[in-house]
Amino acid sequence: MWHSRRFPTVSSPGWPIRQGLAFLVLSVGVARTQAPPPPPDRRAVRRQAAFRVLVAKHPKVKPNALWEFYKRYAIDRIQQFERDCKTSASKSQKLLLEMAQHYLDLEELRQRNPEEYGRMLELEQAESKARDLGRRVTALALSSSKPRSVGHKSLLKMRKELRLALEKCFQSSQQNQLIEMNRLEAEVRDLRALLQQRQGARELILQQRFLDLSGTHWEPDE
Q: How confident is the model at residue 36 (pLDDT cuts 50, 70, 90)?
A: low
Q: What is the pLDDT of residues 149-184, one digit of tens each?
A: 677 888 999 999 999 999 999 999 999 999 999 999
- Nearest-angstrom CA–CA distance, 181 and 189: 12
Does residue 60 share a domain with residue 22? no
- Domain total in the chain: 2
pLDDT of 25 higher than 90: no
Structural domain containing residue 149: 42-175
Give the DSSP per-residue string, 149-169.
Answer: SHHHHHHHHHHHHHHHHHHHH
- Beta-carbon contacts of 103 under 8 Å, excluding residues fewer than 6 positions away, are 61, 66, 69, 70
What DSSP character marks residue 38?
P
Q: Residue 122: which of 176, 198, 53 has the closest Cα? A: 176
**Is 94 inside any structural domain?**
yes
Does residue 166 share a domain with residue 117? yes
Task: Measure Cα distances from 142 to 66, 162, 199 in Å.
Answer: 33, 17, 68
Segment holding 82, helix H or strand E? helix 75-87
Does residue 168 share a domain with residue 118? yes
Does residue 88 share a domain with residue 21? no
- Nearest-angstrom CA–CA distance, 82 and 76: 10
Q: How confident is the model at residue 1 (pLDDT cuts 50, 70, 90)?
A: very low
What integer pLDDT is reported at residue 141 of this predicted model? 87
What integer pLDDT is reported at residue 57 of this predicted model? 95
Q: What is the pLDDT of residues 100-126, one digit of tens each?
A: 999 999 999 999 999 999 999 999 999
**Is 130 inside any structural domain?**
yes
Does residue 74 share a domain with residue 94? yes
- Nearest-angstrom CA–CA distance, 175 and 64: 32
What DSSP character marks residue 146?
S
Does residue 106 share a domain with residue 86? yes
**Is 9 inside any structural domain?**
yes
Which of 33-42, 64-73, 74-83 bottoms out in mean pLDDT, i.e. has the lowest?
33-42
Average pLDDT over residues 37-57: 88
Does residue 46 share a domain with residue 30? no
Q: Are 77 and 94 in contact (CB under 8 A)?
A: no
**Is 79 inside any structural domain?**
yes
What interhelical angle do 114-143 and 89-112 show, nearest 10?
150
Q: Residue 84: which of 70, 75, 94 has the closest Cα? A: 94
**Is 110 inside any structural domain?**
yes
pLDDT of 44 higher than 90: yes
**Is 99 inside any structural domain?**
yes
Does residue 58 share a domain with residue 6? no
- Nearest-angstrom CA–CA distance, 21 and 3: 22
What integer pLDDT is reported at residue 158 of this predicted model? 93
Average pLDDT of the chain?
85
Does residue 150 share a domain with residue 55? yes
Predicted model pTM: 0.69
